Each structure stands twice: as C-alpha cells, then as structure tokens.
Amino acid sequence: MTLRIRESQTTVIAGEKRLADSLHFVDGLNLICAENNMGKTTALMSILYALGWEGMLSPSRKVPFPPAVTTEIAASSERLLVTESYAMAELEAGANDRLTVRRAIKSESEKTELVRTWKGPVLSQGPGEHKSQDYFVRTGGSAKREAGFHHLLEKFMGWELPEVTNWDGGAVKLYMEVVAPFLFVEQTRGWGWIASVMPRYLRIKDPERRATEFLLSLESLTRASERDALLAQREELRGSWRASVDAFVAQAGEKGVRVENLPRNPTGDWPPPVLPTLFLLHENDWQPIGAVLSALRRELNETAQEIPRVEEVADQVGNELAVAEERASELSGLIGGAARDVREQMAELQSLDERLDALSQDKARYDDAIRLREFGSSEDLSIDRSNCPTCEQALPATLLGVDVGPVMTLEENRTLIAEEVKTFSVMRDDARSVLLASRQRLAALQSDLKDIRRTIRSLKTTLTQSAEAPSQAAIAKQVRLGDRIEEFNEFEIKLAGLGSDLSEQAAGYRRITSELADLGERGGLTASDKQKLTAFGDLVREQLRDFGFTSMPPEEVQLAQDTYLPMRKDVPIRPDELSASDRVRMVWAYLVGLMEISRTFETAHPGLLILDEPGQQEISDDSLRALFKRLAAAGGFGQQVIVATSKPAAAVNKMVENAEVALHQIDGYLLKPQKS
Amino acid sequence: MSTEQELDRLLDRPFVFRERPGPAAGDLRAVWRLPVLLMLVRACRGEKATPEQLHVLNWAVRSSESAESLAAFLDGKVRPEEAIVRFEPALDRAVTLARGFELLAWNDRYWVLTERGRDLLRKVDGQAETLLMEKALLKQLPGPLTQAAVKKLLGRG
C-alpha cells in the first residue's frame, strides 16, 4: 500500500502563451520554497485535484484554484485570459508501477469530472506507447464502479477500502476523501486541528475514527462493521419480537384475556423458566385459563343432560334472573370505575410521553451545542465565549435575560438530561404496564357484562315460554358455554403458536448475542491494536517533546482508545486548550506519527504526506527545524513528504543542513511561460 | 437524651450553603441558538430578514406542528388566524449577540449575514449530524419567507 508523487505539472494556456510548473519529487522530504502568492498552494492543490481528493475540502464542484489558473494570469507583464488549464501527476505505487493522470481545470472540451490516465511515466518520459483510458471522478460511483477513477486508484495503491456505516444506517465504502485529510493538510483550514477539514457531507458516521482505524489497519474497524451489522440485526429482531408479542397481547386484551410472563423484549432463554400464562377474570378474580376452562367444561357437562322443560325449572329461572340482574348492575359499576382508571392512566402516559419527547429534543440540542462549540476551536468563529467581543463585558450564561445564577456546563447539563430520560423512561414503561392491565380488566368486565345480559335475555324469554317447552335459558346457556370454551381454547392454541415463533426468534437472538460477545465490547481493541496504539502514542509524545510543545507536559498526552485522538487524564484535549502554535505542533505530531508507525507495524498508510505551510502561527524556527529533520528521515524508509513553505530557501537550507532533502527553490511565480 | 435533644446535638454545627449550577434549556444556550439564527436569516428571501421574519421562522422551527402550520399558511391552506405565531424574547437577545460576534449586520432595514456568519453556516452545513431537526423543518417550507407573507400572517398586511 504505497503512493508516491513522482511528477506534478499544472499547465495554463492563456492566449498564445503556455505556462506551467513542473515539479519532480523523490522519496524523503521535498521542500518547495517560494514567497507568498507565488503558486506553492496551487502546485499542491494540483496534486490533490489530480488525485480527485478535493472533495475533502467541500461538497462544492467548483475547482479549488485561484483566478490565475481559471480566469486571468499575469505573463511577461501582461494579463492574459485563461482559455484552458489542467493538472497532471505521475504516480508511483510499488517498484515500477506508474500511472499518469490528467484532469482539466478549465476546458471547453473536457469536463472536470473526467480523468485521463496512462499506465506509464508520461510526464517524465513522454507518452511513448502508453494508451490512454478515461475514468470519471466526483460523481456517484467513482469509488465503486469499474469506470470510476477512485476505484482504479484504490487498486493502484493496493488499498482495500472497507464498508462503514453512514448516518442513514446503511453501509457505504469508506471514501478516499475521508482518508485524505490525514495525508494532505491544506493551508487555510487544515491546521486548526487534526483532520479539521473533514467532508461530513458524505454522511459517514465517525469519519475521523473510521479513517484512523483504516490507516492504522486496526482490527477494530472490521469488528466495528461486523458489530454494526449485528446490532442492526438485533434491532430488527427486537422489533419483530415486540410486534408479535404486542399483537397477541392486544388481541387477547380485547377479549378480556390477560397474558402474564410473556417477555416483551427478546430473550435467548426460551422457553422461559416461568411459562407465559393466560388469565381470565372469573368471579371478580384473575384465574389461570386452565382452571377457568375446567370449570366451564364441568358446567357444560352438567347442562348437557336432557334439556328441562319450563315448568320444571320456572322457580330456578326466576332466582337465576334475580342474581343475574344484580350481577349486571355490579358489573356496570365496576366498568365505570375501570373506564375511569383507563382514562386517567392514558392521560398520565401521554404526559410522560410528552415529557420524554421534550427531554429527547433538549438532549439533541445539547449534542448539537457540544458539536457546535468545537467550531469555535478556531478564534475566528468562536461563539462559545464568556465575554462580549465588542465591549468585553461578561456575557450571561443563557439567553433568558435574567441572572439565573451559575449554570451547568454543556456536558453536565447533557448528563442530567440523560439521567432524566432514564428515570422518565422507567416511569413510562411502568405506566404502560399499568394501563395495559387496566385495559385488560376493562375488556374482561365488558365481556362479562355482555354475557350476563345475554343470560338475562334468555332467562326472561324462558319465563314467558309455555310450560311444556324446553327451557330457552338452558339451551342458551349450553351454547354460550360452548362458545366461550372454544374461544378460550383458541387463545391457548394461538399462545402455543406464538411460543414456537418466539422460540425461533430466541435462537436467533442467542446467536447474535454470542457473536457480539465474541467481538468484544464497543470500542474494544485486540491486543495487537493496543500495541499499535501504544506505539503511536509514544511517537506522538516523542515528537511533541522534540517540537517544543509546552501547553501541557507531553508525557501526559495519551491517545483515547475509542476516538484515537489526544487526551489528557482521560479527558479529550480540546484545541482551544492549547496555544495556537501548539495546536499546529499537535497536528504535525499526529500526522507524522501515523506515517511513522507504518515503519514498524503493518498499516494501510501509503507513506505519503503533503503539508501546505506547516510553519503556521509564526511557529518558532527551532520547532520547524525539528520537524524538517524528522521528515527528512522518511527517505530512509522509502516514504515521501512534500512540504510547501514561504520560509526563505537560505533559512530552510540552514534548518535542514546535513539532512538529505530535495529543495525546490522557486524564484518568482511557479507557473512560468514555456517555450512552444 | 430525648430524640429532640439528640437531634439538636446532631444539628449543632456550622452549615455551609453552596450555590450549585443549575440546568438550562438547550435552546437558551447561545452556542446552539446563534447558528440556528443564522439559518433563519438565510431562509428569508434575499437572505436578509426583518425582526418579524425571524420571529416567525423561530416559531416555525420549534416543532413539527408549528413548521406544518407555517407551511400550510404559505401554501394557502389555512388562514392567518389559524397559525398562531409565538414571539420569543430570547431570540432578540440572540440577535444582539450575533451582531456583537459579527455574524449578522444591520443595514437599517434588515439583518444580513456577514462573511463570518456565512463561514459558520458553511461549517454547520458540512456537519450532517448537527441541527438535524431544524434543517429538516426549514426544508419543509415551500420557499424563502417573504416580508409580504409575514405581514399577512401577523395581520399587518
């Protein structure tokens, strides 16, 4: 997995004139020294553009070049309109594997999405017999399709970019533009923090983390994708389990049947130690369905004897009618109370749901606020200040307009909300269970009342029949008992069916849980990953010492095991905690460390690093000297670093004396008129 | 010793009262509110906003119900009196802060975005996972909010 830039060329055609910069790069440190505004950034941007990586800077399709390359250029003291411009680069991967690429910056005939390639060293040795082939970039499919340039580049570099999760929960390829910020630092925004320019519009979850895991070849990346897939399966199974259980419980509830010991959440333990049981409201008491069915069958057997005639049972019917009417009256009262309970509990549940919605909205705002505060890591855009930038007065902690006393930090407030969500969730789950039980009771009472009324009707009919006729009440009772027994039998059968279905789902759940356990806890690292990270951390600390980092003791800087970013005493280091120049030193140490770790461990780092103006924030010459000396050692490991600096060449020469570097000292503009 | 005496003994020591920091609603934090405010300015016609336009949009992004209410009004599906706008004093304070932070400027008629404000908005746009609800609710509106629409909504036109 390597990538080297051997040649790069930016060509601008303006009128009759052709201007170009041609740069040759070797292994080790390549320094481009030129004064400001002479075209150094253009030269580096040309490499980025040729690689199709400018999407790391922004979603815009606008070419990332100044007007001198796209509109009007100064040439021999005249200003000429640019008619055509393009970027070319000759890439090397492996010993003799060369690929030359060309991409139009401004052209009437070639779209900027087109990348023309030759399988050979066209810039250094001419076109020869190398045939060209066109690919496309910066449009959908560039990373996956055969005709996509990034698909080709990935193969060329020997990379195998993994699938990662995006914000929609789907799996997408880890785009090169997400890895590029760790290999290319652009001048204006790249030095604010480690990978401060990150194309979040590509909607990959935790892009910095995924890119670092890929570059370090951490096993946890593969594990993260597998874990995400298993978590998605588990969520789906949870949904399906709950749907099955809820549907059964609802159907049972409508008939006044209560279900107990049926777990609403999936479990691997099936059948459960206490089996799910159906309960019926029988004589004001919830009794197991088995017992009620036995009683009903007994009663049915008794009535299955010869149907009596009316004259034989008239007195009995009269008594039964009185009892039934009393029971109906009692049930009506109970139903009124049960319905009131249901209404009150529904209102309480709704109020808890509303509270939880409000809390989750507030939590989302705090998550946003914490992310937004990070934007303020650069002084320019800081909106999280305690003093007014205009008059320096202390700003209130909130927008309430009154002094509310000390206010929690964003993190403290978010933690509080998270705790409240937990509490209210438990209350809501409890309220749901209580409501469900109340609804079941109400349905059971209503079902009983319906039955009793039918009984009353048939008893009354019996009393008006002729004496010789068979008792209507006895017939109706038999039919009713038979119907009830059949109905409750059906529920038992359905429960058995549900049990089989859940048994299958439980097996699936066991499998998923076991595989998740094998993968380890979230953020868990294998022993080899830990070794790599420890070595990476050592490299970062060593460099911070070398570079003169002083905002905190370098030995206290660790790398977090979940984000791989610097932290101190288990708290992530925020850029605004460091001085501006130390922020830059941290970026140096991190990116150089990522490259250097590949010298001792197997990683996917291509051994290429491009830095535009690392001497930011008037950083001391001592620090810069230490950086250049360190980067110069890259050559000994077959790695390549390209640096653009506006430091005078003489000063740079002194900094790198005795080190092997390729120094390109440019006088005037890099883009120079070429002989036709 | 009686219970009362025992209590007195236990309580007979100095008390220290410390004011602990209290919570605040997330939308009252400037760091959250200012980027949202900039998004509201951008959602107005010409990317410039009167205070009334800001209050209307601020109300719209509070909840999906209010966003639907505003969208229905702009589509002509409901009358102005059916979409009740709520004014929020905190918004005015946020606007003042935004001016102080040079994210917005007042050009005698409108609030407009400064270059700084645009830079911040670019960062917010680039963050797919930030201000999801507010971005989605603003997308629901049929187009940039005009002053004419706001005047009609507030019964002033």
Domain ranges in chain A are 4-218+525-673, 222-285+478-524, 309-400+407-469
Do the interacting molecules here have an ipTM over 0.95? no
Give the pLDDT band (50/70/90) at residue A384.
low
Whether A368 sits inside 8 A of B32 (CB atoms) is yes
Q: B86, B69 in Cβ contact below 8 A? A: no
Q: How far apart are CA A527 and CA A540, in angstroms?
A: 20
- Please determine, looking at this structure, whether the domain spanning A309-400+407-469 carries the CATH number 1.10.287: yes
Q: How far apart are CA B122 and CA A375, in angstroms?
A: 11
Mean pLDDT of B119-125: 84
Whether A361 sits inside 8 A of B133 (CB atoms) is yes
Range of the domain at B118: 25-153
Give me the pLDDT at residue A108, please.
87
- Count of alpha carbons within 13 angstroms of residue A567, beta-carbon side: 11
Q: A494, A197 in Cβ contact below 8 A? A: no
- Name, in order, each residue with C-beta under 8 angstroms of B31's C-beta and a sequence gap of 6 or more: A369, A372, A373, A376, A383, A384, A410
Give me the pLDDT at residue A232, please.
86
Of residues A619 and A420, which shows the higher confidence score?
A420
Q: How many other CB atoms are found less than 10 A from the CB of residue B137?
A: 23
Please give, rounded to a whole number of angstroms, the shortest distance from the CA of B36 to a CA of chain A: 11
Whether B129 sits inside 8 A of A399 (CB atoms) is no
Out of A386-395, A662-671, B9-18, least confident range: A386-395
Mean pLDDT of A656-676: 82
Give me the pLDDT at residue B29, please.
92
Please give the DSSP secondary-structure letter assigned to residue A380.
Answer: G
Please give, rounded to a whole number of angstroms, the shortest distance from the CA of B144 to a CA of chain A: 22
Please give, rounded to a whole number of angstroms, the shortest distance from the CA of A498 to a CA of chain B: 38
Task: Please list the residues that pair with B44 across neighbouring strands.
Answer: B145
Whether A372 sits inside 8 A of B31 (CB atoms) is yes
Q: For residue A35, which of A647, A661, A617 has the smallest C-alpha distance?
A: A647
Give the pLDDT band (50/70/90) at residue A473.
confident
Q: For residue A511, which of A262, A229, A224, A169 has the smallest C-alpha distance?
A: A229
Q: Does residue A381 register a pLDDT over 60?
A: no
**A14-34 pLDDT per residue, tens:** 888 888 888 999 999 999 998
**Minimum-distance CB partner of A381 among B26, B123, B129:** B123
* B20: nearest CA partner in chain A: A406
**Minimum-distance CB partner of A413 among B24, B34, B127:** B24
Mean pLDDT of A584-597: 96
**A259-308 pLDDT per residue, tens:** 999 999 999 988 888 999 999 887 778 899 989 889 889 888 887 777 78
Cα dist from A63 to A54, A86, A87, A552, A665, whole Å: 8, 11, 11, 40, 27
Give me the pLDDT at residue B123, please.
81
Q: How many other CB atoms are found less than 10 A from the CB of residue A255?
A: 17
Q: For residue A87, which of A67, A73, A71, A101 has the smallest C-alpha distance?
A: A101
Give me the pLDDT at residue A196, please.
87
H or E stretch at A365: helix A310-375
Give me the pLDDT at residue A574, please.
84
Helices (H), A160-218: 176-179, 207-215
Give me the pLDDT at residue A176, please.
95
Candidates B19, B20, B32: best to mutate against A (most CBs of A within 10 A) is B32
Please give, rounded to a whole number of angstroms, the shortest distance from the CA of A556 to a CA of chain B: 30
Chain A residues closer than 8 Å to B122 by CB: 58
B93 touches chain A (CB under 8 A): yes
**A634-653 pLDDT per residue, tens:** 999 999 999 999 988 888 88
- Residue B8 domain flag: no
Q: B144, B43 in Cβ contact below 8 A? A: yes
What does the block give as tokens for A83? 């008619």
Q: A221, A211 in Cβ contact below 8 A? A: no
**Minimum-distance CB partner of B90 among A167, A201, A400:** A400
Please give the DSSP secondary-structure letter assigned to residue A161.
Answer: P
**Minimum-distance CB partner of A372 among B24, B97, B130:** B130
- Residue B96 domain flag: yes
Q: A549, A626 in Cβ contact below 8 A? A: no
Mean pLDDT of A409-419: 92
**B83-97 pLDDT per residue, tens:** 889 999 999 999 999
Whether A368 sits inside 8 A of B26 (CB atoms) is yes
Please give, rounded to a whole number of angstroms, the shortest distance from the CA of B100 to a CA of chain A: 6
Give the pLDDT band (50/70/90) at residue A376.
low
What does the block give as tokens for A443? 């349905």
Q: Does residue A221 register a pLDDT over 90?
A: no
Of residues B66 and A397, which shows the higher confidence score?
B66
Q: Does residue B129 register a pLDDT over 50?
A: yes
Percent of chain A exceeding pLDDT 90 equals 49
B97 touches chain A (CB under 8 A): yes
Cβ under 8 Å to A: B residues 13-42 = 19-35
Q: Does residue A375 register a pLDDT over 90?
A: no
- Give the number of beta-carbon pairs within 8 Å between A and B: 125
Q: A173, A161 in Cβ contact below 8 A? A: yes
Q: How far apart are CA A93 and CA A3, in angstroms?
A: 5
Mean pLDDT of A237-244: 94
Cα torsion A320, A325, A328, A330: sign: negative
Q: Please report, in angstroms and rounded to a whole number, the separation of the first and last CA atoms in chain A.
A: 39
Whether B130 sits inside 8 A of A371 (CB atoms) is yes
Mean pLDDT of A207-217: 92
Q: Are strands A78-93 and A97-106 parallel, antiparallel or unpaired?
A: antiparallel
Q: How far apart are CA A178 and CA A45, in angstroms?
A: 17
Q: A487, A462 in Cβ contact below 8 A? A: no
Please give, rounded to a whole number of angstroms, the shortest distance from the CA of A172 to a CA of chain B: 15
Whether B21 sits inside 8 A of A408 (CB atoms) is yes
- Residue B98 domain flag: yes
Q: b/e string for A228-240 if b means 16 or more Cβ within 10 A?
A: bebeebbeebeee
Give the pLDDT band (50/70/90) at residue A502.
very high
Mean pLDDT of A384-408: 78
H or E stretch at A18: strand A17-24
Mean pLDDT of B117-125: 86
Give the pLDDT band (50/70/90) at residue A378.
very low
Q: SS3 for A323?
A: helix
Chain B residues closer than 8 Å to A400 by CB: 24, 28, 90
Chain A residues closer than 8 Å to B116 by CB: 380-381
* A202: nearest CA partner in chain B: B128
* B103: nearest CA partner in chain A: A381
Q: SS3 for A157?
A: helix
Kindly write down the DSSP assignment for every residue of chain B, as one continuous string: --HHHHHHHHH-S-----PPPB---GGG-HHHHHHHHHHHHHTBGGGEE-HHHHHHHHHHTT-HHHHHHHHHHHTTSS-GGGS-----HHHHHHHHHHHHTTSEEE-SS-EEE-HHHHHHHHHHHH-TTSSHHHHHHHHTSSSPBPHHHHHHHTT--
**A163-209 pLDDT per residue, tens:** 888 877 678 899 999 999 999 999 988 898 999 888 888 888 889 98
Candidates B18, B20, B28: best to mutate against A (most CBs of A within 10 A) is B28
Please give, rounded to a whole number of angstroms, the shortest distance from the CA of A399 to a CA of chain B: 5
For chain A, the 3-state helix, strand and coil shares in percent, each to the nearest 5, are 50, 20, 30
**B44-55 pLDDT per residue, tens:** 988 999 999 999
Chain A residues closer than 8 Å to B106 by CB: none
Whether A390 sits inside 8 A of B93 (CB atoms) is no
Q: Does residue A523 register a pLDDT over 60?
A: no
Task: Please list the residues that pair with A17 across neighbouring strands.
Answer: A14
- Residue B14 domain flag: no
Of residues A102 and A463, which shows the higher confidence score?
A102
Please give, rounded to a whole number of angstroms, the shortest distance from the CA of B80 to a CA of chain A: 27
**A137-150 pLDDT per residue, tens:** 998 888 888 889 99
Cα dist from A65 to A45, A161, A577, A674, whole Å: 7, 28, 33, 20
- Name, in order, each residue with C-beta under 8 angstroms of A129's C-beta and a sequence gap of 6 or more: none
Whether B132 sits inside 8 A of A395 (CB atoms) is no
Please give, rounded to a whole number of angstroms, the shortest distance from the CA of B7 to a CA of chain A: 33
Q: Which residue has the tokens 């800087």?
A: A557
Q: SS3 for A661?
A: strand
B65 touches chain A (CB under 8 A): no
Chain A residues closer than 8 Å to B30 by CB: 383-384, 395, 398-399
* B62: nearest CA partner in chain A: A361
The alpha carbon of A398 is separated from its chain's Cα centroid by a whole number of angstroms, namely: 30
Domain count of the fold of chain B: 1
Q: A474, A303 in Cβ contact below 8 A? A: yes
What does the block give as tokens for B49? 């906003």
B102 touches chain A (CB under 8 A): yes
Give me the pLDDT at residue A230, please.
87
Chain B residues closer than 8 Å to A376 by CB: 31
Give me the pLDDT at residue B157, please.
54
**Minimum-distance CB partner of B100 among A368, A388, A397:** A388
Give me the pLDDT at residue A101, please.
96
**A291-305 pLDDT per residue, tens:** 988 988 988 888 777
Out of A244-253, A374-383, A430-439, B121-130, least confident range: A374-383
- Residue B136 domain flag: yes
Whether B34 sits inside 8 A of A383 (CB atoms) is yes
Chain A residues closer than 8 Å to B127 by CB: 200, 371
Chain B residues closer than 8 Å to A364 by CB: 26, 132-133
Give the pLDDT band (50/70/90) at residue A379.
very low
Q: How far apart are CA A299 and CA A201, in angstroms?
A: 72
Give me the pLDDT at residue A227, please.
81
Please give, rounded to a whole number of angstroms, the shortest distance from the CA of A196 to a CA of chain B: 11
Strands (E), A620-660: 640-645
* A367: nearest CA partner in chain B: B130
Of residues A51 and A79, which shows the higher confidence score?
A51
Kindly write down the DSSP assignment for every residue of A261-286, as one continuous string: S--SS--S--S-SS--EEEEEETTEE
CATH number of A4-218+525-673: 3.40.50.300
Q: A481, A469 in Cβ contact below 8 A? A: no
Helices (H), A26-175: 40-50, 67-70, 122-125, 149-157
Mean pLDDT of B142-149: 86
Give me the pLDDT at residue A219, please.
82
Helices (H), A520-605: 527-547, 580-596
Q: Does residue A153 register a pLDDT over 80?
A: yes
**Minimum-distance CB partner of B89 among A376, A385, A401:** A401
Mean pLDDT of chain B: 89
Please give, rounded to a whole number of angstroms, the shortest distance from the CA of B93 to a CA of chain A: 6
Q: How far apart are CA A158 and CA A151, in angstroms?
A: 11
* A390: nearest CA partner in chain B: B100
What does the block give as tokens for A250? 């609802």
B122 touches chain A (CB under 8 A): yes
Q: How far apart are CA A180 and CA A593, in angstroms?
A: 16
